[in-house]
């Protein structure tokens, strides 16, 4: 995997971590569940990172992953 791409992803997650957490929390209303969703989203994103089309829109791309992971979490509950 492209090391530069991983670094950009890490910078994005670090810079916007509060925004991503708020999104996950808005779905679950639970701190622990929101943190689990973020962790699972990061794992999914790292696996799919080589397939990202628009690297300049990494925040939006990861945001979608967080939302979809939260929705999957709610469906399973």
pTM: 0.92
The pLDDT value given to residue 60 = 95
Cα dihedral 76, 22, 61, 7 in deg (nearest 10): -110
Instruction: Give per-residue pLDDT as tens, 4-51.
Output: 889 999 999 999 999 999 999 999 999 999 999 999 999 999 999 988
CATH topology of domain 3-76: Rna Polymerase Sigma Factor; Chain: A (1.10.1740)
């Amino acid at each position: 995997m492209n090391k530069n791409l991983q670094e950009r992803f890490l910078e994005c997650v670090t810079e916007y971590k509060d925004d991503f957490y708020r999104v996950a929390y808005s779905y679950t209303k639970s701190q622990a569940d929101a943190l689990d969703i973020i962790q699972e989203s990061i794992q999914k994103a790292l696996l799919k990172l080589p397939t990202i089309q628009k690297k300049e829109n990494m925040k939006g791309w990861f945001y979608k992953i967080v939302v979809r992971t939260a929705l999957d979490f709610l469906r399973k509950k």
